[in-house]
């Protein structure tokens, strides 16, 4: 028997009398047994804010706002740089999201290459950070569908003719797709400690200059070995560090361990932030207590 109606707008499920575990009323709905788990998974996805870009795509319906408006929001502004933060995107769809972004930008540059500010008349550089996570080689792609890898391969092989360039950034070059790496004209090699990664870089440099790469494990922060079309000969350079430093730098482990121990860390606030997909802040915790 129905106790309370559900609400599709707020994703509130209807409430029913629990079915009896014995052979008496109320009985379990046998028709729902096969789809109950699928309905629960669907409800979980609808409630997960990380899927809002897919389940709640705002007014991008092809009538009020179309792909042209989307691309204008991406690269049609006054700022020289656009950052796509995919950290909150579920890993199950990261591969597809990267592929769609690359395909949209490539197709727009291809079909609009003769228009002012687009394609060859408005060159675009796409940088792929942590590329080994979604552009792996061989066995590394067995858990992915390969959408991103195929889209980026096409971009690297054909994009520069239409004003679209690409840069891959990775701490593990040995795990990157070979086709994409082979299309790169210039390499910046920072500190590399594993032999596999060093060998990948050595394969690019002529044998006569391979001794320069012996310094790869000992490079300081901000130092790099540059080789390829951008320089006449492979060179060791120093890259100026940005100020302020990004929040991705390593924590001061020794300093934290020597300091006073926090007696009651706010784990509840951290878990709540995880659930609502919003970073928990110390100010918000203090405000909640007040």
At 213 the pLDDT is 81
| Pair 229, 190 in one domain | yes
CB 167 within 8 A of CB 180: no
Strand pairing of 124-128 and 15-16? unpaired
Predicted TM-score (pTM) of this structure: 0.72
Helix or strand holding residue 287 (H, E): helix 282-289
At 40 the pLDDT is 81
Q: What is the mean pLDDT of residues 150-179?
A: 92
Strand pairing of 186-189 and 223-228? antiparallel
Helix or strand holding residue 272 (H, E): helix 267-276
CA distance 174 to 189: 12
Q: In this structure, is residue 102 part of a structural domain?
A: yes
Strand pairing of 164-168 and 124-128? parallel
Within 10 A of 89 (CB to CB), how many other CB atoms are there?
18
| Pair 106, 160 in one domain | yes
Q: In this structure, is residue 127 part of a structural domain?
A: yes
At 123 the pLDDT is 92
Between 151 and 30, where is the model more confident?
Answer: 151
At 141 the pLDDT is 56
| Pair 64, 174 in one domain | yes
pLDDT at 38 exceeding the cut of 90: no
pLDDT at 143 exceeding the cut of 90: no
Rg (CA), the chain: 26
| Pair 283, 273 in one domain | yes
Q: Which residues, in sequence order, are CB contacts of 110 under 8 Å at separation 6+?
A: 119, 162
113 lies in which domain range?
A: 57-184
Residue 126, strand partner residues: 166
CA distance 146 to 151: 9
- The phi, psi pair for 178, rounded to 5°, reads -65, -35
Percent of the chain with pLDDT over 70: 89
| Pair 105, 26 in one domain | no
CA distance 83 to 219: 28
At 127 the pLDDT is 95
At 1 the pLDDT is 64
How many domains does the structure of the chain reveal? 4
Domain boundary among the residues 184, 205, 222 is at: 184
pLDDT tens sequence across 65-111:
888 888 998 998 889 999 998 877 777 788 888 999 999 999 999 99
| Pair 101, 176 in one domain | yes
pLDDT tens sequence across 175-232:
888 889 889 889 899 998 888 888 888 887 777 677 778 888 888 888 998 988 888 8
At 156 the pLDDT is 94
| Pair 112, 157 in one domain | yes
| Pair 79, 149 in one domain | yes
């Amino acid at each position: 028997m129905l106790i309370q109606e559900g609400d599709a707008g707020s994703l509130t499920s209807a409430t029913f009398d629990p079915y009896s575990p014995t052979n008496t009323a109320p009985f379990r709905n046998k028709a729902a047994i096969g789809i109950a788990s699928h309905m629960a998974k669907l409800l979980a996805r609808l409630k997960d804010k990380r899927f809002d870009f897919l389940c709640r795509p705002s007014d991008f319906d092809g009538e009020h706002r179309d792909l042209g408006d989307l691309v204008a929001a991406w690269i049609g502004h006054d700022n020289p740089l656009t950052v796509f933060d995919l950290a909150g995107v579920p890993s199950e769809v990261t591969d597809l999201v990267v592929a769609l972004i690359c395909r949209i930008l490539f197709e727009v540059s291809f079909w609009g290459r003769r228009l002012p500010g687009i394609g060859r008349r408005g060159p675009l550089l796409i940088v792929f950070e942590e590329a080994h996570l979604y552009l792996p080689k061989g066995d590394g792609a067995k858990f992915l569908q390969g959408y991103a890898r195929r889209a980026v391969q096409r971009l690297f092989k054909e994009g520069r003719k239409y004003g679209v360039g690409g840069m891959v950034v990775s701490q593990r070059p040995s795990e990157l797709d070979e086709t994409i790496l082979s299309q790169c004209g210039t390499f910046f090699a920072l500190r590399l400690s594993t032999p596999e990664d060093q060998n990948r870089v050595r394969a690019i440099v002529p044998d006569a200059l391979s001794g320069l790469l012996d310094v790869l494990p000992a490079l300081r922060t901000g130092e790099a070995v540059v080789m390829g079309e951008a320089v006449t000969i492979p060179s060791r350079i120093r890259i100026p560090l940005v100020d302020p430093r990004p929040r991705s730098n390593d924590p001061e482990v020794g300093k934290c361990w020597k300091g006073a121990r926090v007696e009651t860390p706010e784990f509840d606030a951290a878990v709540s932030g995880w659930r609502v997909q919003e970073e928990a802040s110390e100010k918000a915790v203090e405000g909640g207590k007040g």
